Chain A
């Protein structure tokens, strides 16, 4: 991480590596059908270019798998005294600072796949829709702890708009 996205006095918490597994599963589900169809066509017709495109697609999925693992490692969050930092992205990096007093509500969500993998998402909402402070891939107990913590800190520092 380069310096602007890594302030000196901040210790980052990482999200669960199970998020990478969940995302990779989604990717595989999405790409499994096209690859399967290509392979079937290739077997039936025996054309070389169909084999090649199936292989290219498979390689692409492999690259996505590697990328997802790195992306998940790049997600970080930190609770400071007065605000929450959320950082994500490798190529397009993003860092959001949300003051606790500005939080309007906190969402904790977990879809069926996320539940299978034992992870949940925490999303902070301010009065601005541009605030994209979502932390994916938290273990449920950590998500609940964070929600409680944010709610109590938000209450203590509640300000109007």
Chain B
């Protein structure tokens, strides 16, 4: 959707509808250039530390500071130009975003294809009260529309507006947004209207959907859970090995092998704690709301029916307290560096919370007793809870975990269970099935086994059931495609507040 001519946009969007980002934006974005240059030069200096020390006297420092000033100037200058070139507009059907200094780009995100809306606040933006609004529209890598930066209140008002429009509600006809007298309350519940503080503020005739908290993660549990992880175990093992080596070789230098391992696991633990801190989940008519983050705070809204698959996983170190990590596939999430931040539904859930997390996505699991079914799926093996397990011959291909491989098809979803040491359960709603596959290796063919695969959108969940009886797998493939078809026909509309019959 590249356009070198701005007039292309003018046809579809009213000229007065265009808005700019907050004018402080270049000051926040410009730092990235400086930080990047500093990081690169620090890395280079680190290589030649001795030479730098010898250069300490004289005018060298002046040059360095001057150079940094020039870099900063370029960074901020470019950011200012980019800010001038950036504008966005919201119509009833789409969000339009124009960017680019040299290469003009216009992007149009259709609201009925909206997969998720995030309000992200990096540390620096948070300090000055700004937020980035991110719209995911499932178009592959780099397809997200990022509106950075807006005033906090504006970002939230805009999110409310986008969600309401995406849900299929309409702006009241003929009203100027600025003089919208009575806010339309689509949810028929008394909720405060968004604050309209000054003239530049985004005004919206919609009010935020009411939400109900479902669970939150206490900090002590997050810390303990993060310490009881594979990274920590690896660190302890490396530590013991280093001590043994240095005692045997009588050389303290061997202990230095610890340093990279320490940094790596320290980084891992910090990331997990930072991302999972003050994790809260709520449910609203607009879908699932997740808020989390210590330095960078992130408020995600995933509308109904946008979660493509759920995975519950448990490492052996979490088995004692029976904690589970819950992750989801959402189209649009799961590209690039943010994947680990965006796709977590619960960083460390107790059994009850794990069930609540599943309920958030699938209020109706399609069985009479969802608790018992989930319990069997998480802890059981063989035929527990009505699962179809792998036949006995599967022990030749998976001697440890063969009794955990299993599949259960309910009215609403497919549950795939696996893993004896690292337990895992994948749940895919029938209407979210993309395509299905069957695979069989030479050993499996001899044993009469086949693996069944459900293809889902990119993300942490890749559901599959290994080593089923080949007749069972073939029947499953056949029935599942029929089930997915009828579930899609009955699925809720893309615009979730409308009652139009599904297309």
Please give, as numbers and ranges, the residues of chain B lying within 8 Å of A139 by CB-CB distance: none
The one of B331, B440, B471 that contacts A161, using a Cβ cutoff of 8 Å: B331
The one of B435, B445, B450, B491 that contacts A97, using a Cβ cutoff of 8 Å: B435
A160 to B493, CA, bound (A): 9
- In the complex, the answer to whether A92 meets B458 with C-beta atoms within 8 Å is no
- In the complex, the answer to whether B438 meets A133 with C-beta atoms within 8 Å is no
Q: Give the distance to chain A from B470, nearest Cβ to Cβ, in Å.
A: 4
Q: Does B355 contact A (CB under 8 A)?
A: no
Please give, as numbers and ranges, the residues of chain B lying within 8 Å of A45 by CB-CB distance: none
Q: Give the distance to chain A from B144, nearest Cβ to Cβ, in Å.
A: 15
Q: Looking at chain B's contact residues, is the secondary structure mostly helix, strand, loop, or mixed?
A: mixed
Q: Does B484 contact A (CB under 8 A)?
A: yes
Q: Does B474 contact A (CB under 8 A)?
A: yes
A127 to B432, CA, bound (A): 10
Q: How many residues of B contact A (CB 8 A)?
A: 40
- In the complex, the answer to whether B488 meets A5 with C-beta atoms within 8 Å is no
- In the complex, the answer to whether A4 meets B470 with C-beta atoms within 8 Å is yes
Q: Does B478 contact A (CB under 8 A)?
A: yes
- In the complex, the answer to whether B455 meets A3 with C-beta atoms within 8 Å is no
- In the complex, the answer to whether A93 meets B456 with C-beta atoms within 8 Å is no
Q: Does A144 contact B (CB under 8 A)?
A: no
Query: Which residues in A have some Cβ–Cβ distance to B below 8 Å?
Result: 2-5, 7, 82-83, 91-99, 101-102, 126-133, 158-161
- In the complex, the answer to whether B485 meets A99 with C-beta atoms within 8 Å is yes
Please give, as numbers and ranges, the residues of chain B lying within 8 Å of A126 by CB-CB distance: 434-435, 455
Q: Mark B457-478, 1 if CB is under 8 A from A, else 0.
A: 1100010000000110110011
A152 to B481, CA, bound (A): 20
Please give, as numbers and ranges, the residues of chain B lying within 8 Å of A2 by CB-CB distance: 440, 445, 470
A2 to B306, CA, bound (A): 38
Query: Which residues in B have some Cβ–Cβ distance to A below 8 Å?
Result: 112-113, 115, 138, 306, 308, 331, 432-442, 445, 450, 453, 455-458, 462, 470-471, 473-474, 477-478, 481, 484-485, 488, 491, 494, 502-503
A132 to B462, CA, bound (A): 14
- In the complex, the answer to whether B457 meets A92 with C-beta atoms within 8 Å is no
- In the complex, the answer to whether B445 meets A158 with C-beta atoms within 8 Å is no
In the complex, 22 of the A-B residue pairs with CB atoms within 8 angstroms, ordered by the A residue number, are A3-B474, A4-B438, A4-B474, A5-B440, A83-B481, A91-B441, A92-B441, A93-B438, A95-B477, A96-B436, A98-B435, A102-B433, A126-B435, A126-B455, A128-B435, A128-B458, A130-B453, A130-B462, A131-B434, A131-B435, A131-B437, A159-B502
- In the complex, the answer to whether A159 meets B488 with C-beta atoms within 8 Å is yes
A8 to B112, CA, bound (A): 40
The one of A93, A102, A128, A158 that contacts B440, using a Cβ cutoff of 8 Å: A93
- In the complex, the answer to whether A158 meets B308 with C-beta atoms within 8 Å is no
Please give, as numbers and ranges, the residues of chain B lying within 8 Å of A99 by CB-CB distance: 433, 435, 481, 484-485, 488
